[in-house]
Amino acid sequence: MVGCIGFLLPIVLYVGVIVEKLWLNRTEHLGLIENLNFFKPESSISFYYYSVMGNVFVGMVTAIAIFLFAYKGHEKDPDDLMSDNVAGNFACVFALGVAFFPCNFCPEVDTISGTIHIICAFLFFSTLAYFSLVLFTKFKNAVTPKKIIRNKIYKRCGYTIIAALLFLGLEMIPAVHEITGNTIYFWAWEVVALWAFAFAWLVKGDYFNRYAD
C-alpha cells in the first residue's frame, strides 16, 4: 500500500489541479490548452499544499506515514543501525513533518515551517534510501535467484533516491536556481525519488510475480 500511494501521489495531485483549471475555465479551456504552461506542474510537489489539492496532499502523505508506522519488518541484526520497525517509525515522523509543516510558498521568504519541511523531506527520503540499500537487501532465508534480482532492484532504487536528493540539493543553491529558474526541474527529481521509493516497496510487497519467490 505504501508503494501504491507513493506512486500515485504526484499523478493524483497533478491531474487534480489540471481538472480544476479546466472546470474553472470551462468556457475557454480550448484556448488555455493551446498554452503549454497550462499543463505545467507546480514547481515542487510540496507546493500542491497551497492548491485545491492541498487536503489530498496532506491526506496521502499522512497515509504513507501511518503505513510506515505500522510496518514491522524483520528483527534488528547486530550489525544494523536500526531495525525495520524503528526505521519505519522515523520515516513516519518525517512524513508527518512534510505533511503538517508546509514549505515556503515564496522562496525569498524563509519560515520556521519551511525549514522544518525541508529537513523532514530530506530525512524522509534518506530513511527510504536506507530501507532500499540496507534493510530490504538482507538475506533472511535461503538465497534464491529472484532474491538476488530483487536486491539489485532495491539497490538501484536506493541509489536513485540518493542521486535525486543530490540534484534537489543543488537546485536549492541560489546560483543554480537562477540558472534553472521556474522550471519543472525540482518537481521532476521529487517524482523520480518518489517513484524509486514506490517501486522498491512494491517489489518488497510481492506486487510483481516475476520478482516474487
Q: What is the pLDDT of residues 136-184, one digit of tens each?
A: 888 777 778 888 888 899 999 999 999 999 988 887 777 766 666 666 7
Mean pLDDT of 12-33: 70
pLDDT(56) > 50: yes
Classify residue 210: in a domain, yes or no: no
How many structural domains does the chain have? 1
Q: Report the alpha-carbon distance of residue 129 to residue 112 in Å, rounded.
A: 26
Classify residue 212: in a domain, yes or no: no
List the one residue out of 37, 31, 5 whose CA is nearest residue 18: 37
pLDDT of residue 213: 62
List the one residue out of 168, 129, 180, 181 whose CA is nearest residue 45: 168
pLDDT of residue 179: 65
Classify residue 213: in a domain, yes or no: no
pLDDT(27) > 50: no
Q: Which domain range does residue 179 map to? A: 2-204
Classify residue 121: in a domain, yes or no: yes
Residues 6 or more apart whose CB falls under 8 angstroms from that of 138 comprise: 74, 77
146 or 81, greater pLDDT: 146
Classify residue 107: in a domain, yes or no: yes
What nine digits make up the cell of 26? 470551462
Residues 6 or more apart whose CB falls under 8 angstroms from that of 213 comprise: 144, 146, 147
pLDDT(108) > 70: no
List the one residue out of 159, 120, 155, 160 whose CA is nearest residue 138: 155
List the one residue out of 121, 119, 115, 143 whose CA is nearest residue 197: 121
Counting residues of the chain whose pLDDT is more than 70, the rounded percentage is 81
pLDDT(29) > 60: no
Lowest mean pLDDT among 40-49, 94-103, 104-113, 138-147: 104-113
Q: How far out from the chain centre does Cα 164 lie?
A: 10
What nine digits make up the cell of 31? 484556448
Classify residue 104: in a domain, yes or no: yes
Classify residue 193: in a domain, yes or no: yes
Mean pLDDT of 36-42: 72
Q: How far out from the chain centre does Cα 124 lie?
A: 8
Residues 6 or more apart whose CB falls under 8 angstroms from that of 129 comprise: 158, 159, 161, 162, 165
pLDDT of residue 197: 92
Look up cell 517501486; give the residue: 199
| Average pLDDT taken over every residue of the chain | 83
